[in-house]
């Protein structure tokens, strides 16, 4: 072959479809597997996300066990077990053995996972680095199915290596998954442990048992209620691009435009639908399938022009102030915690909601910068803090007002923990790693409002605490200076030192109350008088 | 001579405070305010003076107590010095005042800044000068010329001081002028310039006194200029570089300064005149090739000075400022030596004085 | 539905496959469509890459026309036409209307595109933002096929809107593609124009005509030879992970292990294959399909343990020093250009090769930092310069040695253009945007060696140029000081000034030669002598 | 007296260069090298001295030409000054040398730094001192005590100088000592300290001379100390703060300095002794509560000084350095006033002198 000229026919022979699995195997960094350290965290995160989502949908308080054991240098066995509803036998292979397969991609509703790439991605990475199948056990409460699974990368299809069915005397339900992987284990700010610790903060109704290379830790359940289940919503007209509108028109069951607009979108009533048609100069009886391209463009434009209220927000499931406070208090042992849940808001047609909490004192580090804990849809974000909307919001907030020192462009200083949770049906991550939230002005603004409200509440507490301390200090201060004054004054006036001290001590008792009233002068400035 | 008065006013202060204490009141000091807002130019006396704004400082006030005690302690120290007839430098006074409060690790003063401020406040409270409180400022300055003084019992002839001159003390209050044959005084900002004039025996040829400090004139120098001016009517001519800093030295000598506004009467010489270098001198004596380019800081200083109230209405001064601003440069006195080693003594000064070519 | 508990059965109903097209539509930033400005550059880049790759494989000197016209605010029509071999009619819809479909994914050979996502991604973005089909015309030299195409996003399949067949009297061959898109057009460092300008630098055998919103520009062809066509190679044992080995074992046509190793890998001869089997304690006659997992692991380990020469490097197609110099000289009008092509090298089993060129003077900016042009497989990199191995290599090179000033950690200063080309079968991009090369030590080292070699050559030129200038300056300098010296000396010695000047002028003529020899002293330091 | 010699050596230099030029040679100057590598401590004379390394500077050398012409111009200026019997300050000399080269915008000197260096080189080339070249250094320093001098025809009695003292000129070569009744000299680093001792008339009570400069002693002060020491055998006692900077002032007075190593013989006083403050004094006089914490820069300076060759073999000095390092603090002379206003004059100095409690 080689240097002879290649023709279009030659090239045609080389054209082939690439399977999704092949693509992600080669581009594994897109899934968070760019290095062995991050790979381990990604595996745990993806399996945890699935477990927590499943428990929540089934309204089961999550009990999750995570185990990581080193079985050879840079090779680990990872196990995650939950008490969720399990997956029915027929769907088990596809749910874990096919990339881009899941329940969450096509709906508008807040959840942790979205793309059907999480667990299958972990299994793909495991088999790429170890060549071994993964073991999955599932039960919906009846018998237990245990399968060994690999992914046929060329076809992006599951390949079952073995399948066992067992009795389930304990009525166990849930998923247990076990896989081997090449990885590296570290402790510290970006570690599996920290990921689980923060997950416990943002999911205080979950119990998490972690059996890691350095021992066992239990994160206890702090509260017994779960936040309400989010509802699925339909797209809001403001958030729909023309390409998507064309597809919706083609696949709708509605027989005319008004029906299409009212049934396939949220917040569009009959009146609004008529208005949209009128603006687009389209007959309300037109069949959605029959629109020409120009008509579609007009329809799309008109949809952006009518006045609509924002999308419904019950697709969101915030933690609530109470849960936030409990979760944060437990993990930081803070002496004071305050939480704020903002009302829902909208960016680019997507509903979202911001929550924040501030923790003060306790086991938080006394020196240096405050600690920022970032979450999106209850999932901790460990990487890329500097690119994140949460960081922008904290840095832009004037913490001096609330009694914390802060250099320009920096986090505040002090014994402070800052928790920010961003909940949305579609989180605008800045990059593929899903580790930072893009700084849309609407989002940063909501975050700042939340921080300011919480900051004001915290400031009241801190000030009260300081006041008690000040009173005692004041008295001691005057007592130290009295002998000095008396001594100088004796030299100056000739009056006896002892007599002066006695008189001054008397005044101090009398003036104790008065000096408190004077408090505001106590900043060292002298009142001016015009003589 | 004023020693008794000083001691009296210090004692009076003590008595006032002791009385307040025995009455069970919060003892207080009325301290005239030394911020810019309380300082005004008095066009009638041609001097910068303090306004009448006063702050009250209490002992029983967390923000005041430390300064309050420091001020009283400064008063006690001044009383002791007057009693002994001894003087202390500011640094020594700091060490005299520094002591540790019982059962604590707090010092009454930690930094010299604090004792300095206490002493300045005391000057204001008791309406005395630091010299009267027996606290010395910096010593700096030489003098030569046709004057004989008596100081500490010694008779000193300033015209018989060889190449070095008489070294001015920091406190000149006790100097007695025995014989004054000089007709005027030239004050210059640099000791090198003074040596030039002394070597050329300018004071002999022109019947005058030459005095230098280094940069800004010290309090001692300003006082002796003022005393000779007031007590013996000697005109004072100021010889400085042609730059905003030289002009500022002149301004302080003549009108007083903001930081010492409270004793302008004891320091300022409203009739002092500038004998050079003016921008006109630069042109006339062909010094343009020795221009030193202005830096940003020079422009800023010039801008400030040209806005001083006391220069604002002077056409002549505004002309100088404008020319300097256009020239964007300064010229040093030393540049005159490019015209000839003794040019300043043989030509420049005699000409200026003969023509009365002064800037007022 | 809503708050009633959801069971595993309910969840099973919601499980669905997600098409690749749906995935990338929602995650368009992964393909470089994160904002309207970058989207326009990405579209041009993807279409250009395809055209250049096709021409090169068919050994045709590329003639490419790019046209961008604003047809409404923030809406553009983009046309790209090439003179390549074209695509046969049957494959036309799939090549453009299906994501992850292409010729380059499965082979080890240097090319611009790799994943079969380029053109189809551009069409997907076009239809998402405008709802319109794209027009594609193709001819292999016979009749011309013109189709209008959309992508069925749910199925990831092409949908042909129209198909015309036309006579081809002019025997034209190539591809013409025309699409509309939402976008924003800018000029400057990260623009379509700059992309094309740099493409012309790195492809000096191509002619590019650009008809943009601000007028028409032609980048002329500078040379008429193309670099040799790279050959496809087989994987090298050192670069194969166990998961891939497992798949190769399953799909090989070889009947025994020795056959498998020698035929499916590069650089493995019979001797080495036997050695690998021996190390793995595996019978050489074993059937590749029959290996157990443990045996595969042993085989994998043994493959890493034997000594092998590096992979063949004819899979690479560097530009060559000559082409580099011509390309850079034309675009910068530099007065001096020098290029260096390093011998091939290897990182992680992947062959790669570095080229660099330096341009001095000409139309390069006289003030400020030098200009760095970065390329991977002949494609310009416009974004993320600070994260790139090329920048690391330039910054780490000591440019003071070559006569350029440089602050620590910065690019050198001066009228200098630096061109670095990284060629490899697999470029290790730092992120999905394909805009920066990861700083592997092997790669940075090669780049530095190339820069140093070129730097030394440039320094010789610059020094020679400076020397001529210096000679004249020296003579003028002495002539200025002679009257001064004479005047001072007259005062000091009493000798006549005029006589001294005359004598000094005489010396200057005589010593002209001698002072040149002294050159090295001319730095103002005085030679020391011990008296 | 040495004036003729100076003029001769300057003329000789000119003749040498003119001869070289007329022979068609590249005219050259041999300049002793002033870098650290060419400076050595001479333990025999107890002085820092210049080594014998020399650099040759050519006119026809791009790197040398400017400095070459500057040096020759400095020589021409010095010859002129000697001829006139006049002196110039360094700044004035700069202006005298500054001129623009014909047909160019190059000045012969642009910065004073350049003329200063040319003058220093000239000192080395002709083996003269700046004083002999008639270029003045800074003027700074006061003196009082039991000595009578004659200077420029004036008779000046240093014991009749009131509170200010005699102001020392920058050039003391021409001073004639008429009557010396003092037994020793106390040199102190601060003018405030000098005023303390003068007010307390220490020079009268202890039969001595008190001299101060400000910080590092000026050349004039060092020369007068050395002249009194050599010509009248007066011991020199140095009174400085207890810190590395005080020790350094002592070191320079005694052994000379690196920058003026070429004229150590004319400035250094190898027999000078430290009268305080030593670390032992700090302990003995109970000054520990006035410790000022060392900064990094103090530690560095102490480290440097303790490594000086001339201190390295002195057990006593190393003991001081070690104690200071452990104390991590310095103490100022002014702190003595915390013991009493005149404590330094009444107790400290008399005790130290009586017990000969000096550090050598």
D161–B164 C-beta distance less than 8 A: no
CA–CA separation, C272 and C278 (whole Å) = 10
- Asked if the C-beta of D148 comes within 8 angstroms of chain B's C-beta atoms, the answer is no
Q: Name which of D18, D61, D80 is nearest C521 (Cβ-Cβ).
A: D61
pLDDT at C246: 87
Q: Which residues make beta-bridge pairs with C380?
A: C375
pLDDT at A516: 47
CA–CA separation, D50 and B322 (whole Å) = 52
What does DSSP assign to residue D321?
H
Here the tokens at position B120 are: 């300045």
Give me the mean pLDDT over the B256-280 stretch.
Answer: 91
pLDDT at A276: 93
pLDDT tens-digit series, residues A472-507: 777 788 888 999 999 999 999 989 999 999 999 888
Q: Name which of A492, A522, A530 is nearest B75 (Cβ-Cβ).
A: A492
Q: Which residues make beta-bridge pairs with A178?
A: A79, A135
Give me the mean pLDDT over the A422-450 stretch.
Answer: 86
**Chain position carrying tokens 């003292």:** D165
- Asked if the C-beta of B327 comes within 8 angstroms of chain D's C-beta atoms, the answer is no
Q: Cα dihedral angle (D235, D241, D243, D245), rounded to 10 degrees?
A: -70
- Asked if the C-beta of C531 comes within 8 angstroms of chain D's C-beta atoms, the answer is yes
To the nearest whole angstrom, how far is the Cα of C403 from the nearest Cα of chain D?
19
D68–C493 C-beta distance less than 8 A: no
Domain annotation for chain B: domains and CATH numbers: 2-136 (1.10.10.10), 142-354 (3.40.1360.10)
- Asked if the C-beta of A500 comes within 8 angstroms of chain B's C-beta atoms, the answer is yes
To the nearest whole angstrom, how far is the Cα of D221 from the nearest Cα of chain C?
31
Domain boundaries, chain C: 20-219, 237-305, 321-455, 461-522
Query: Cα B321 to the chain's mean position, in Å?
Result: 24
- CA B355 to each of CA B183, B348, B350: distance values in angstroms, whole numbers, following the listed order: 16, 11, 8
C vs D, Cβ pairs < 8 A, gives 117
B169–D175 C-beta distance less than 8 A: no
Here the tokens at position B209 are: 């006194």
Q: Which residues contact A271 (CB under 8 A, 6 or more apart)?
A: none
CA–CA separation, D240 and D335 (whole Å) = 12
Q: Is pLDDT above 90 for B138?
A: no
3-state secondary structure of B200: coil
A15–C91 C-beta distance less than 8 A: yes
3-state secondary structure of A469: helix
pLDDT at A436: 87
Q: Is pLDDT above 90 for A357?
A: yes
Touching chains A and D? (3+ Cβ pairs < 8 A): no
C9–A88 C-beta distance less than 8 A: yes
Q: Is pLDDT above 90 for D205?
A: yes
Q: Name which of B95, B136, B332 is nearest D195 (Cβ-Cβ).
A: B136
To the nearest whole angstrom, how far is the Cα of A214 from the nearest Cα of chain C?
28
CA–CA separation, D152 and D148 (whole Å) = 13
- Asked if the C-beta of B326 comes within 8 angstroms of chain A's C-beta atoms, the answer is no
CA–CA separation, C141 and C169 (whole Å) = 9
Q: Do D234 and D225 contact (CB within 8 A), yes or no?
A: no
Q: What is the DSSP string of D77-125?
A: HHHHHHHHT--EEHHHHHHHH--BPTTSS-BS-SSHHHHHHHHHHHHHH
Q: Which residues contact A401 (CB under 8 A, 6 or more apart)?
A: A455, A459
Options 3.40.50.10190, 2.60.40.10, 3.40.225.10, 3.30.565.10; CATH of C20-219: 3.30.565.10
| pLDDT by position in tens, chain C (length 531) | 344 566 777 777 777 778 888 888 887 877 888 788 989 999 999 999 999 999 998 999 999 999 999 999 999 999 999 999 999 998 999 999 998 888 777 777 778 877 778 899 999 999 989 989 999 999 999 999 999 999 998 889 999 999 999 999 889 999 999 999 999 999 888 899 999 999 999 999 999 999 999 899 999 998 898 888 888 888 888 888 888 888 889 889 999 999 999 999 988 999 999 999 999 999 999 999 888 888 998 999 999 889 888 888 888 889 889 988 988 888 888 999 999 999 988 887 788 999 999 999 888 888 788 999 999 999 999 888 888 999 999 999 999 999 888 888 889 998 999 999 999 988 888 766 678 898 888 899 999 999 999 999 999 988 888 777 777 777 788 888 999 999 999 999 989 999 999 999 888 877 554 544 444 444 444 444 443
Report D:188-227 residues touching B (Cβ under 8 A): 191-196, 199-200
Within A377-438, residue ranges assigned H as helices are 389-396
Strand D184-188 and strand D208-212: the pairing is parallel
B101–A483 C-beta distance less than 8 A: yes
A20–C20 C-beta distance less than 8 A: yes
To the nearest whole angstrom, how far is the Cα of C254 from the nearest Cα of chain A?
19
A346 exposed, middle or buried (CB, 10 Å; 0-12, 13-18, 19+)? middle
Q: Do B238 and B275 contact (CB within 8 A), yes or no?
A: yes
- From the list D139, C391, A294, the residue with the least C-alpha distance to B214 is D139
Q: Which residues contact D160 (CB under 8 A, 6 or more apart)?
A: B154, B155, B156
Select from B136, B150, B164 the residue whose CB has the most chain D CBs within 10 Å, as the one to mutate to test that interface: B164
Q: Name which of B21, B52, B73 is nearest A531 (Cβ-Cβ).
A: B52
pLDDT at D2: 66
Q: Angle, nearest 10°, between helix axes B296-306 and B244-255? A: 30
- CA B231 to each of CA A260, B45, B176, B178: distance values in angstroms, whole numbers, following the listed order: 106, 18, 11, 12
To the nearest whole angstrom, how far is the Cα of A400 from the nearest Cα of chain B?
22
pLDDT tens-digit series, residues B192-227: 999 999 999 999 999 999 999 888 899 999 999 999
Touching chains D and B? (3+ Cβ pairs < 8 A): yes
Query: Cα D238 to the chain's mean position, in Å?
Result: 13
Q: Tell me which fold the domain C237-305 belongs to.
A: Helicase, Ruva Protein; domain 3 (1.10.8)
Which residues in B223-254 are b (16+ Cβ under 10 Å) and which e? bbbbbbbeeeebbbbbbbbbbbbbbbbbbbbb
Q: Do B78 and B135 contact (CB within 8 A), yes or no?
A: yes
B61–A504 C-beta distance less than 8 A: no
Sign of CA dihedral C178, C180, C182, C185: positive
Locate the chain D residue with the closest alpha carbon to B105. Answer: D289
**Chain position carrying tokens 């301390």:** A469
- From the list C304, C310, C282, C278, the residue with the least C-alpha distance to C295 is C282
pLDDT tens-digit series, residues D267-276: 999 999 999 8
Here the tokens at position D83 are: 């001829």
Give me the mean pLDDT over the B29-46 stretch.
Answer: 89
**Chain position carrying tokens 């100095």:** D349
Here the tokens at position A151 are: 């992914």
3-state secondary structure of D150: strand
CA–CA separation, B300 and D115 (whole Å) = 30
Omega before D335 cis (within 30°)? no
Sheet containing D142-145: order of strands: B273-276, B236-239, B184-188, B208-212, B142-145, B166-167, D166-167, D142-145, D208-212, D184-188, D236-239, D273-276
Q: Is pLDDT above 70 for D343?
A: yes
Greater confidence (C348 vs B309) lies with B309
| N-terminal to C-terminal alpha carbon distance within chain D | 35
Q: Do D160 and D183 contact (CB within 8 A), yes or no?
A: no
Strand A63-72 and strand A207-212: the pairing is parallel
B170–D165 C-beta distance less than 8 A: no
Greater confidence (D213 vs C519) lies with D213
Other beta carbons within 10 Å of B170: 25
Q: What is the CATH number of domain A321-455?
A: 3.30.230.10
- From the list A360, A457, A371, the residue with the least C-alpha distance to A411 is A371
- Asked if the C-beta of D76 comes within 8 angstroms of chain C's C-beta atoms, the answer is yes
Q: Which residues contact C29 (CB under 8 A, 6 or more apart)?
A: A431, A432, C432
- Asked if the C-beta of A7 comes within 8 angstroms of chain B's C-beta atoms, the answer is no
Question: Model confidence at A313, in pLDDT bands (50, 70, 90)?
Answer: confident
CA–CA separation, B35 and A472 (whole Å) = 33
To the nearest whole angstrom, how far is the Cα of B297 from the nearest Cα of chain A?
28
Q: Is pLDDT above 60 for D247?
A: yes
- From the list B59, B63, B61, B34, the residue with the least C-alpha distance to B48 is B34
A16–C105 C-beta distance less than 8 A: yes
- Asked if the C-beta of A229 comes within 8 angstroms of chain C's C-beta atoms, the answer is yes
Locate the chain C residue with the closest alpha carbon to A150. Answer: C243
Active-site residues of B: which are they?
A: 95
Tell me the chain A residues in contact with residue C244 when contact means C-beta distances shorter than 8 Å: 128
What does DSSP assign to residue B344?
I
Phi-psi region at A37: left, alpha or beta (left = phi > 0; alpha = psi -120 to 50): alpha
Q: Which residues contact A195 (CB under 8 A, 6 or more apart)?
A: A41, A44, A45, A380, A382
Averaged pLDDT of chain B: 92
Residues shown for chain C: 531
Give me the mean pLDDT over the A79-95 stretch.
Answer: 93
Q: Which long-range contacts (CB under 8 A, 24 or more apart) does A270-279 make?
A: A272/A306, A272/A308, A275/A306, A276/A237, A276/A302, A276/A303, A276/A306, A277/A302, A279/A305, A279/A306
B139–D151 C-beta distance less than 8 A: no
CA–CA separation, D287 and A159 (whole Å) = 88
pLDDT at C515: 45
A531–B18 C-beta distance less than 8 A: no
Report D:30-49 residues touching C (Cβ under 8 A): 30-31, 33
Instruction: Provide φ and ψ at D333, rounded to 5°.
Output: -55, -40
B vs D, Cβ pairs < 8 A, gives 186
To the nearest whole angstrom, how far is the Cα of C413 from the nearest Cα of chain D?
25
Other beta carbons within 10 Å of A286: 18
To the nearest whole angstrom, how far is the Cα of A480 from the nearest Cα of chain B?
6
Q: What is the DSSP string of B228-285?
A: HHHHH---EEEE--BSHHHHHHHHHHHH--STTGGGHHHH--TT-EEEE--HHHHHHT
- Asked if the C-beta of A520 comes within 8 angstroms of chain B's C-beta atoms, the answer is no
- Asked if the C-beta of A528 comes within 8 angstroms of chain B's C-beta atoms, the answer is yes
Question: Model confidence at B59, in pLDDT bands (50, 70, 90)?
Answer: very high
Here the tokens at position B136 are: 């010395």
Q: Is pLDDT above 50 for D26?
A: yes
- Asked if the C-beta of A82 comes within 8 angstroms of chain C's C-beta atoms, the answer is no
Sign of CA dihedral A40, A41, A44, A50: negative
């Amino acid at each position: 072959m080689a240097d002879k000229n290649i023709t279009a026919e030659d090239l045609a022979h080389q054209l082939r479809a690439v399977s999704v699995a092949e693509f992600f195997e080669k581009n594994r960094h897109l899934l968070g597997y760019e290095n062995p350290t991050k790979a381990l965290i990604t595996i745990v995160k993806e399996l945890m996300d699935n477990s927590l989502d499943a428990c929540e949908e089934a309204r089961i308080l999550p009990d999750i066990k995570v185990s990581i054991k080193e079985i050879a240098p840079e090779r680990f066995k990872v196990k995650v077990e939950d008490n969720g509803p399990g997956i029915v036998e027929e769907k088990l292979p596809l749910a874990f053995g096919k990339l881009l397969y899941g329940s969450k991609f096509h709906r508008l509703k807040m959840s942790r996972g979205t793309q059907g790439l999480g667990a299958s991605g972990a299994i793909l990475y495991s088999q790429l680095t170890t060549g071994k199948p993964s073991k999955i056990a599932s039960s919906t409460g009846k018998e237990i199915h245990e399968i060994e699974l690999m992914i046929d990368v060329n076809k992006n299809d599951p390949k079952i290596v073995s399948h066992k069915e067992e009795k389930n005397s304990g009525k166990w339900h849930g998923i247990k998954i076990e896989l081997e992987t090449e990885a590296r284990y570290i402790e510290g700010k970006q570690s599996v442990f920290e990921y689980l610790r923060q997950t416990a903060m943002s999911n205080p109704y979950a119990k998490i048992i972690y059996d890691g290379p350095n021992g066992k830790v239990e994160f206890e359940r702090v509260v017994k209620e779960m936040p309400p289940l989010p509802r699925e919503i339909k797209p809001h007209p403001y958030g729909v691009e023309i390409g998507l509108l064309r597809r919706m028109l083609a696949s709708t069951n509605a027989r005319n435009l008004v029906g299409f607009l009212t049934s396939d979108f949220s917040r569009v009533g009959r009146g609004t639908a008529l208005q949209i048609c009128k603006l687009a100069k389209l007959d309300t009886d037109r069949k959605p399938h029959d629109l020409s391209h120009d008509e579609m463009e007009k329809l799309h434009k008109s949809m952006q022009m009518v006045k609509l209220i924002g999308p419904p927000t019950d697709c969101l499931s915030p933690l609530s102030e109470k849960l936030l406070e409990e979760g944060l208090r437990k993990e930081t042992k803070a002496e004071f915690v305050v939480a704020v849940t903002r009302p829902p808001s909208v960016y680019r047609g997507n509903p979202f909601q911001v929550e924040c909490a501030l923790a003060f004192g306790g086991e938080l580090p006394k020196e240096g910068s405050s600690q920022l804990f970032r979450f999106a849809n209850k999932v901790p974000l460990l990487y890329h803090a500097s690119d994140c909307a949460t960081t922008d919001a904290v840095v832009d907030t004037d913490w001096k007002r609330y009694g914390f020192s802060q250099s320009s462009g920096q986090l505040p200083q002090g014994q402070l923990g800052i928790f920010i949770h961003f909940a949305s049906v579609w989180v605008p991550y800045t990059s593929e790693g899903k580790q930072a939230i893009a700084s849309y002005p609407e989002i940063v603004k909501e975050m700042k409002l939340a921080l300011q409200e919480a900051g004001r509440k915290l400031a009241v507490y801190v000030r009260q605490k300081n006041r008690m301390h000040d009173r005692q200090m004041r008295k001691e201060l005057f007592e130290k200076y009295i002998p000095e004054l008396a001594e100088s004054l004796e030299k100056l006036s000739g009056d006896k030192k002892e007599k002066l001290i006695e008189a001054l001590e008397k005044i101090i008792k009398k003036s104790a109350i008065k000096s408190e009233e004077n408090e505001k002068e106590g900043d060292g400035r002298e009142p001016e008088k015009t003589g | 001579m004023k020693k008794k008065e000083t001691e009296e006013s210090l004692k009076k202060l003590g008595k006032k405070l002791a009385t307040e204490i025995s009455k069970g009141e919060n003892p207080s000091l009325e301290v005239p305010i030394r911020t810019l807002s309380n300082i005004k130019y008095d066009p009638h006396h041609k001097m910068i003076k303090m306004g009448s704004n006063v702050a009250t400082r209490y002992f029983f006030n967390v923000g005041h107590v430390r300064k309050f005690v420091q001020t009283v302690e400064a008063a006690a120290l001044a009383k002791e010095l007057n009693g002994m007839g001894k003087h202390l430098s500011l640094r020594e006074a700091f060490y005299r005042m520094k002591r540790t409060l019982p059962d604590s690790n707090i010092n009454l003063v930690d930094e010299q800044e604090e004792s300095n401020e206490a002493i300045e406040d005391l000057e204001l409270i008791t309406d005395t000068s630091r010299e009267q409180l027996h606290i010395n400022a910096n010593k700096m300055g030489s003098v030569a010329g046709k004057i004989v003084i008596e100081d500490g019992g010694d008779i000193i002839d300033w015209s018989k001081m060889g190449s070095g001159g008489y070294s001015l003390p920091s406190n000149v209050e006790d100097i007695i002028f025995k014989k004054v044959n000089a007709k005027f005084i030239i004050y210059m900002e640099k000791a090198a310039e003074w040596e030039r004039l002394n070597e050329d025996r300018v004071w002999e040829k022109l019947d005058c006194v030459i005095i230098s400090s280094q940069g800004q004139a010290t309090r001692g120098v300003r006082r002796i200029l003022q005393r000779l001016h007031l007590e013996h009517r000697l005109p004072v001519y100021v010889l400085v570089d042609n730059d905003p800093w030289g002009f500022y030295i002149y301004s302080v000598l003549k009108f007083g300064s903001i930081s010492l506004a409270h004793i302008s009467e004891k320091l300022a010489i409203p009739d002092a005149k500038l004998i050079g270098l003016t921008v006109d001198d630069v042109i006339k004596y062909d010094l343009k090739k020795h221009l030193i380019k202005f830096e940003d800081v020079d422009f800023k200083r010039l801008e400030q000075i040209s806005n001083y109230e006391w220069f604002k209405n002077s056409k002549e001064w505004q002309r100088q400022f404008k020319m300097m601003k256009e020239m964007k440069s300064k010229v040093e006195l030393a540049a005159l030596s490019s015209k000839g080693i003794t040019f300043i003594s043989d030509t420049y000064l005699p000409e200026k004085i003969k023509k009365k070519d002064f800037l007022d």
